[in-house]
Chains A and B, each alone.
Chain A
Amino acid sequence: MVDFELVAFPPSDHPEPGDRAPDFTRPLVTDEYWEDRTLSALAAESGGVCLLFYPLNWGGKSRYWWGEIQDRGWPVEEPAVVGVGISQPFDHRRFADFLDLSYPLYSDPGNDVARAYDIVHDLDGMEGIEEPRPAVFVVDEELLVEYAWVAEEWPQSPPFDEVEAAME
């Protein structure tokens, strides 16, 4: 680990266990096409969703996180593991191809989903670009939050073991 202080994120009013997660509709990019998908419909059909807000496609964090999740064989149903990132759909498509990713990715270039969850990360030194703060929400079929993790420092990786336990 590094022996200097990381950048601390400010406090966040993000959804906590027992809260209902904000619903949203965004293009969901799968290996065959993308279409507008509403989170509540996806959760109802998939027996819950594990929503992973992750940093910029192609960066070390996104590649490592998704590689780790692939290796761990996280589920595609009950709950469905799904990413949220700011790339436009063609880029999500390429990124998923590159990683041979089994999980669909929501495309949210305006970062408004992160805003609704109060986890906006305004990227220092990149004027006009923001992304979600690293975060994981496990929700049930009715969007009730069962587990929430939101990074308190940048960069901080999700607690993979803890998330895995929460999904069981």
Chain B
Amino acid sequence: MSDEDTPADGPELTLYRLHGCPYCERVVRRLDRYGLSARSRFVAGEHSTRDAVAREAGTRSVPVLIDHDRGVTMPESGRIVEYLDRTYGEGA
């Protein structure tokens, strides 16, 4: 995919998310806290249309965060938030 739309500095992150999904917003807030910017890919409500997420993450649930440089693909907001804290948080 394109690199043109990705910020030059900082890790390359992709967030699969759903409009109005509180779990997704939780991840976005944590990304903001650490000054991280992710490419947002919005899926529709129907799980049947989420083939891209299924291919990437083996699940049709969102959010899914992909940290390209570290080769990490992670579903579930709780796990993602822990990962972000561990990897990009103050103690990291």
Contacts and interface: CB of A to CB of B under 8 A. Distances in A.
B51 A32 contact: yes
Contacts of B44: 33, 90, 93
B4 A33 contact: no
Interface string A12-44: 000000000000010100011111111011101
A102 to B, nearest CB: 15
B40 A32 contact: no
B2 interface: yes
B52 interface: yes
B42 A45 contact: no
Contacts of A41: 2, 4-5
B2 A34 contact: no
Contact of B41 (A25, A33, A44): A33
Contacts of B19: 90
Contact of A37 (B5, B45, B52): B5
Given A31-B49, A32-B49, A32-B51, A38 B43 contact: no
B50 interface: yes
A36 B1 CA distance: 13
A89 interface: yes
B40 A36 contact: yes
A36 B5 contact: yes
B68 interface: no
A33 B52 contact: yes
B39 interface: yes
Interface in B1-51: 2, 4-5, 16, 19, 39-45, 49-51
6 contacts: A32-B50, A33-B43, A36-B5, A40-B4, A41-B4, A90-B44
